[in-house]
Amino acid sequence: MTLGHTFPPDPLISKRAHMVRDQVERRGVRDPRVLEAMRAVPRHLFLSGPDRASAYDDTPLPIGCHQTISQPYIVGFMTEALAINEAETVLEIGTGSGYQTAILACLARKVISIERIADLADRARENLRALGIDNAEIIVGDGTAGRPDLSPFDAVLVTAGAPAAPRPLLEQLAPGGRLIAPVGGRSVQELELWTRTRTGFDQRRLIAVVFVPLIGEYGWKE
Ligand code: SAM
């Protein structure tokens, strides 16, 4: 199996393998490329201070600026649902630490990731650069409007909770393109999976989740 990136061995490789087996695969994520990417990307490098020691725990963790890195299972679940192949371009909304971006960069040809907090975007860029990931571009701005100038996208992954799937992001999907987003209230949401068809969109509700709010023109007000 080929991923777009390989990383040098590190001392936490077996902790990561346990995380993938016990928290992700055992809960039903089966896509071998997704599991391999999660075994490969050194998640601990996307955390700092005392939280780094908890990098392989079954939980979201703080990354500063009142934001979080998502629970490993949710990263695996959302990534698998998008069924990304190595020729595709992916738009991510909510870069955060850059960990999910790194997973996507292993699976896709190109990743565009938008983060509204410049400090987080700077740190995420540094995290990706340190790992030699060169097919992910991080942009500072309101991701709810997407980037029509860079569209269409084969897949869109929204990593913050929205009141509704942002219309501009759906419109920027290529035919056959998929979007996954947490949609619902400010504190609890459901993952919605949208697929662009020849005549419109298919929409499915997947599982209940808890994400920080998506703040922006087509999200929540601050
Ligand atoms: N996937 C990230 C990771 O691996 O670390 C975690 C993302 S965190 C749960 C959600 C992120 O969405 C936060 O960094 C937040 O600042 C960002 N965000 C919220 N609203 C946004 C918007 N309108 N545009 C871009 N980013 C936004």
Domain boundaries, the chain: 13-209
Considering the chain, what percentage of its residues have pLDDT values greater than 70?
A: 100
Question: Could you identify the residue written with the tokens 């030699």?
Answer: 132
Mean pLDDT computed over 68-75: 97
Within 6 A (CB) of ligand 1 lie: 63, 67-70, 93-94, 96-97, 99-100, 114-117, 120, 142-144, 159-160, 211-212, 214-216, 219
Band of pLDDT at residue 205, cut at 50, 70 and 90? very high
Work out the pLDDT band at 136, boundaries 50, 70, 90. Answer: very high
| Ligand 1 atom nearest 97 alpha carbon | 5
0.95 cut: is pTM over it? yes
pLDDT of 2 over the 90 cut: no
pLDDT at residue 65, rounded to an integer: 97
Give the distance (Å) from ligand 1 centre to CA of residue 98: 10
Ligand 1 centroid to residue 135 C-alpha, Å: 19
User: Residue 207: how many CA atoms within 13 Å on its side-chain side?
Assistant: 11
Going by the DSSP 8-state scheme, the letter that residue 48 receives in this structure is -
The DSSP element (H or E) to which 105 belongs, if any, is helix 99-107
- Is residue 129's pLDDT more than 90? yes
pLDDT at 1 over 80: no
Q: Is the peptide bond before 163 cis (omega within 30 degrees of 0)?
A: no
Q: Tell whether the model's pLDDT for residue 178 goes beyond 80.
A: yes
Closest residue CA from atom 15 of ligand 1: 94
Atom of ligand 1 nearest to the CA of 60: 9
Q: Is the pLDDT of residue 221 over 80?
A: yes
* 15, pLDDT greater than 90: yes
Residues serving a catalytic function are: 70
Cα gap 71→79, rounded to integer Å: 13
pLDDT value of residue 222: 86
- Give pLDDT, residue 95: 98
Return the CATH architecture of domain 13-209. 3-Layer(aba) Sandwich (3.40)
**pLDDT value of residue 59:** 97
Q: Which residues contact 91 (CB under 8 A, 6 or more apart)?
A: 111, 112, 113, 114, 146, 147, 150, 151, 153, 155, 156, 157, 169, 172
Q: Are 101 and 95 in contact (CB under 8 A)?
A: yes
Ligand 1 centre to CA of 94 (Å) is 3
- For the cut 80, the answer to whether the pLDDT of residue 88 exceeds it is yes
Task: Kindly give the distance from the C-alpha atom of residue 204 to the centroid of ligand 1, in angstroms, as a whole number.
Answer: 23
CA 92 to chain CA mean position, Å: 6
